[in-house]
Structure 1
Amino acid sequence: MHRDQSPLQARTAPELVPSLFLDLDQMLDEFTPLPIRAEFRFDPDMPAVITVEFLSERGPSLIWRIGRELLHHGLTSMSGCGDIRMWPALPRERPSSWLLLESQEVEVLFEVPAAPLALWLDTTYRVTPAEAEMDGLNWDGFLMELLEGPATPPE
């Protein structure tokens, strides 16, 4: 997955899986954390993808779409490649994982508390198990959008 640059917004199902708000540490350098809040959203219509919005006190928030499996595996082992990677931090007071996001515009490292994310992800898997993630996908529509690009809004 990659940083969201489209006007599309993921729908959520708060009655099934409420958003998870987590306080993360954005690492400015090796020793300087900057607290930041993030909202994790699950859409049962797109269960393989978690929308993460990094909320900023100043300026616009940043939205990334991250594979649910990548987040799940990143809690216990190295996961992902390319733009998004996640791996467990060395044992410390509170279990956590590192989440690295990279694009042409940004490279940022976050420390993510593992326990609340793990519980929340387990809830999403109870709603839509991993083996059912692709069941409702409209492959023809998905491929057409990939080949033709997003539709242009009428003038």
Structure 2
Amino acid sequence: MQAVVERELELRLVLSPERSVAVPARLTYRSADPYAVRVTFHLDSPAPVEWVFARELLVEGVFRACGAGDVRVWPSRSGSRGVVTMALSSPDGQALLEVATAPLSAWLERTLRLVPPGTEQGHLRLGEAVADWLAGETDAPRAADPAAGQGPDGVAGAAGEARPGGAEEDRAGGPPEGPRSAAG
């Protein structure tokens, strides 16, 4: 049985040091996909924008700067309140987002109680996934085409690279390179 932990939050899209705009978002964690978190942004567009990356990256980012490449996360302050800053980068642009630390931490704590760190492997249902695939109930996995710059999921981008809807597994430490323009 799959359990889901969701939370609607308001993030702030940082446009400049003096200006930001509210962006409603939904954070989703599924026990059947125990290494990943999903952040779905509800923008003024026909479809929401979803980013998928490692839960561990978000947990670590509450305490210290982490990540490299497409997703970087670090703790910060906005005025008098604690925030977690996320820098997201894709071929379509970049975004610098802030979320209040307290509600994000509370949501993460719920995910950690559901699937404690180190027990994720036991929540993967690989046998069921293979059986579904063999029964024709899911799409066949796509082969990578390195010559076309595709990773193992058949999507353009390097392996381990985050992209909207892709998994982020790169958790290199070190401080972020600094805020980038949120316009993209």
TM-score, normalising length: structure 1: 0.76
> Could you tell me which residue of structure 2 aligns to residue 107 of structure 1?
94
Q: Which has the higher contact order (CA 8 A, sep 6+)?
A: 2
Q: Quick one: structure 1 residues 39 and 130, their matched pair in 2 at CA, closer, same or farther if it must change by over 3 Å?
A: same
Find the counterpart in structure 2 of residue 39 from structure 1: 26
Q: Secondary structure at the match of 2:37?
A: strand
Match of 2:3 among 7, 10, 13: 13
Per mean C-alpha deviation after superposition, the further-off stretch among 25-34 and 132-141 is 132-141
Structure 2 residue 141 is the aligned partner of structure 1 residue 145: yes
Shift of 1:150: 6.3
Cα deviation per residue 1:25-69 (whole Å; 9 max; x = unaligned)?
A: 101223220111110001000111011100113443210002111
Distance of aligned partners of 1:125 and 1:35 in 2 relative to their CA distance in 1, 3 Å threshold: same
Greater mean deviation of Cα atoms: 25-34 or 67-76: 25-34
Q: Which amino acid aligns with 2:35?
A: A
Report what 1:98 is aligned to.
85
- Check 1:111–1:91 CA distance in 2 against 1; reply closer, same or farther (3 A cut): closer
The answer as to whether partners of 2:73 and 2:86 remain within 8 angstroms in 1 is yes
The count of aligned residue pairs is 135
**Structure 1 residue runs without a partner (length 5+):** 1-11
* C-alpha separation in 1, matches of 2:13 and 2:78: 18
* TM-score, structure 2 normalization: 0.65
Q: Distance in 2 between matches of 1:73 and 1:64?
A: 17
Structure-1 residue corresponding to 2:109: 122
Change (3 A) 1:30 1:59: farther
What RMSD over aligned residues (CA atoms) do the two structures have, in Å? 2.6
Assess if the C-alpha contact under 8 Å between 2:3 and 2:32 holds in 1: no
Equivalent position amino acid for 1:49 in 2: A
